[in-house]
Amino acid sequence: MYRTHTCGELRIENAGQQVTLAGWVQKSRKLGGMTFIDLRDRYGITQLVVDATADQALVETASSLGREFVIQVEGTVVERQSKNPKMPTGDIEISLSALRILNKAMTPPFTIEDESDGGEELRAKYRYLDLRRNPLKKALELRHRIAHEVRNYLDAQNFLEIETPYLIKSTPEGARDFVVPSRMNPGQFYALPQSPQTFKQLLMVAGYDRYFQIVRCFRDEDLRADRQPEFTQIDCEMSFVEQEDVLNTFEGMMRTLFKNVLDVTIPNPIPRMSWYDAMDRYGSDKPDIRFGMKIHEITSLVQGHGFSVFDSVPYIGAISVEGAAAYTRKQIDALTDWVKRPQVGAKGLVYIKVNEDGSIRSSVDKFYTPEQLQAIADFMEAKKGDMILVLCGEKRKTQTMLGVLRIEMGERLGLRDPHDFAPLWVVDFPLLEWDDETNRFYAMHHPFTAPKPEHLDLFYSDRKEDLEKVCANAYDFVLNGTELGGGSIRIHEADVQERMFEVLGISKEEADYKFGFIINAFKFGAPPHGGLAFGFDRVCALFGGQETIRDFIAFPKNNQGRDVMIDAPSVIDQIQMDELHLATTALDKE
């Protein structure tokens, strides 16, 4: 037997017991002829001690140990002289009678401690060593726990976990597909699923009225800090449901997760906000509602006073920032530069300060009387000491910029505590989104999302203005300004689905070629259905109080989509290329 106990298990009650442990040497040190070793495994650390009076061979082996050696020890549990209250096993140590080296280890390239000295790149290369560190272990434990709770909850609600294939035809979620060449079908390719969207809908047609899957999805898109080319979704679908049923079911799931995993009670019911309100008041379709600082449109209050910048734009909006009247000239200049960065994209920033003494100062003083400025301050409900920040331009673009500015100011004021959870449903999304560049509509969620029944007439109209007004029973679950999940009530009638492809500018031939299977399935008795998917990695990260998902994935890719540990992607040899009927135009790096 390799071990009788784990390294996290033994307590003072075990004193006197003979035990066998196995694990990694965290560190060892000599003190007055004695050797102390910290032995680590997944469960914790236990201190081992070898007395100077012990068997000579044992003393020598103990002195020869290096960090991360794998050893097996036998000994007696004894009460420690100097206890360590910070460690669960801190009251005891093991007085060794035998020590066996199971495997030596090279000196690790970085310290395996909570705070490692290794840079990100180095730790990624030796991910299996990084995973030995406590913070990563905790992250993976949390991930497991959440997955377990999800399965429990959904199982109790009659959901079946059903796997769907990875080698499929393209699913339109708005990203590029990863493709896999088919050896047996020369010149043909599978796509890896961007999500199981079409399959879960086919399962509804097949009568499996409650489906879920914790499933890998693949999207070939530019990787922003918090994206991975392969990521995991909690993917769900239900038949014979309306939006209300879906929201209630998954509100219940999130409430259970918060309670059972974090012991946090979230609001009941979770607040809801229409997409239009989210955009108008928060400048974002995923508002962070942990704090106010809402956007107000002030167009009619400020136009017509001779300030040509304001007079020449369709929209002027503002936020009022608490306590910011104390900003110096220099700080305001820096903030102005900040909003002009391409990431925000504003042309300039106008401010109105409501000073502590009640006076009002602004960067546009010469166009407005103090009374007019006061009227704006009153409208904004700005108090003494606050500063109003104003941006202008095209409506949605300006609102989005104000949204970014609002988050920045919220951050600066410390209003975004990661341990404060403010969930929100954003509902009533527009069905379609017009793109000026390509001069066509795109599905705001995906092309299987149904128009609201009361908007069907608009949906069959040929006028762009009508189509822009069509809303969907689509919903996003938002937590602290992050979209954690989203879904919709789907189209389940073949003719509506065909109309959708037509609206999206997809020809009948193309629709048949790409999506004939699902249009056809809808002709064989498709039930009304709807569902959603949660970004599982992101749920884990937010539950763990972290911004990035990378630490919650055992083997993630870097920002270039590379796995630097196994060095993938990589070239394949000519034989394999030939078998796959492939030739590459990529320049040979040699």
Span near ligand ASP by CB under 6 A; candidates 50-58, 383-391, 417-425, 480-488 = 480-488
Residue range at the interface with ligand ASP (CB under 6 A); choices 177-185, 415-423, 531-539, 559-567: 531-539
> What string of DSSP letters covers 265-293?
PPPSSPPEEEHHHIIIIISSSS--TTS--
**Residue 532 sits in the site that holds ligand ASP (CB under 6 A):** yes
Q: How far is the CB of 203 from ligand ASP (least distance, A)?
A: 12
Torsion sign (Cα): 271, 274, 275, 280: negative
C-alpha pair distances (Å), 516 with each of 307, 511, 527: 57, 6, 18
**Distance (Å, whole) CA 543 – CA 251:** 16
Decide whether 99 or 484 has the Cβ nearer to ligand ASP. 484
**Cβ contact 73:100 at 8 Å:** yes
Instruction: Single out the residue of 451, 531, 544, 556 in contact with ligand ASP (rule: CB under 6 A).
Output: 531
Is the Cβ–Cβ distance between 20 and 72 less than 8 Å? yes
> Of 28 and 488, which CB lies nearer to ligand ASP in the complex structure?
488
Work out whether 488 is an interface residue with ligand ASP (CB under 6 A): yes
Q: Is 487 in the site for ligand ASP (CB under 6 A)?
A: yes
* Minimum distance of ligand ASP from residue 278's CB (angstroms): 18
Please report whether residue 198 would count as binding ligand ASP according to CB under 6 A: no
Q: Which is nearer to ligand ASP, 410 or 531 (CB)?
A: 531
Is 173 near ligand ASP (CB under 6 A)? yes
Distance CA 503, CA 441 (A): 7
172 or 393: CB nearest ligand ASP: 172
Is 88 in contact with 48 (CB distance < 8 Å)? no
Binding part of the chain for ligand ASP, among 13-21, 75-83, 367-375, 529-537 by CB under 6 A, reads: 529-537
| Min dist. Cβ of residue 45 to ligand ASP (A) | 41
Q: Which of residues 261-280 bind ligand ASP (CB under 6 A)?
A: none
486 close to 476: Cβ distance less than 8 angstroms = yes
d(CA 584, CA 174): 26
The one segment of 54-62, 73-81, 350-358, 530-538 that binds ligand ASP by CB under 6 A: 530-538
Closest CB 484 distance from ligand ASP, rounded Å: 11
Nearer to ligand ASP (CB atom), residue 99 or residue 533 = 533
For ligand ASP, the closer CB: 231 or 282: 231
Chain position whose Cβ is nearest to ligand ASP: 195
Q: Which two tokens stand for residue 3?
A: 């071990």
| 91 and 80 Cβ atoms separated by less than 8 Å | yes
What spatial distance separates the first Cα and last Cα of the chain, rounded to whole Å?
52
Q: How far is the CB of 489 from ligand ASP (least distance, A)?
A: 10
* Parallel, antiparallel or unpaired: strands 44-50 and 92-103: parallel
Stretch that binds ligand ASP, among 247-255, 356-364, 527-535, 581-589 (CB under 6 A): 527-535
Residue 197 or 398 with smaller CB distance to ligand ASP: 197
Task: By CB under 6 A, tell whether 229 contacts ligand ASP.
Answer: no
Q: Rank residues 195 and 320 by Cβ distance to ligand ASP and give the closer one.
A: 195
Judged by CB under 6 A, how many residues of this single chain contact ligand ASP? 9
Nearer to ligand ASP, 26 or 449 (CB): 449
> Binding to ligand ASP by residue 398, rule CB under 6 A?
no
Q: Segment near ligand ASP (CB under 6 A), from 76-84, 153-161, 509-517, 525-533?
A: 525-533
| Spatial CB neighbours of 533, under 8 Å, sequence gap ≥ 6 | 195, 233, 234, 235, 236, 485, 486, 487
Name the minimum Å distance from CB 136 to ligand ASP.
27
DSSP annotation of 201: H
Please report how close the Cβ of residue 31 comes to ligand ASP at its closest, in angstroms: 57
The binder of ligand ASP chosen from 47, 164, 195, 473 (CB under 6 A): 195
Q: Could you tell me the smallest distance in angstroms from the CB atom of residue 91 to ligand ASP?
A: 50
Three-state DSSP class for residue 372: helix
Cα–Cα distance, 537 to 549 (Å, whole number): 6
Burial 321-331 (b: 16+ CB within 10 A, else e): bbebbebeeee
Reading the block at residue 574, the tokens are 């000519």
One DSSP character per residue, 340-365 reads: HSTTT--S--EEEEE-TTS-EEETTG
Check: CB of residue 201 under 8 Å from CB of residue 488.
no
How many Å apart are CA 262 and CA 268, to the nearest integer? 16
Q: Is 411 helix (H, G, I), strand (E, B) or coil?
A: helix
> Rounded to the nearest whole angstrom, what is the least distance from the CB of residue 213 to ligand ASP in the complex?
11
The residue within the footprint of ligand ASP, chosen from 46, 61, 164, 197 (CB under 6 A), is: 197
Q: Give the footprint of ligand ASP on this chain (CB under 6 A).
A: 173, 195, 197, 486-488, 531-533
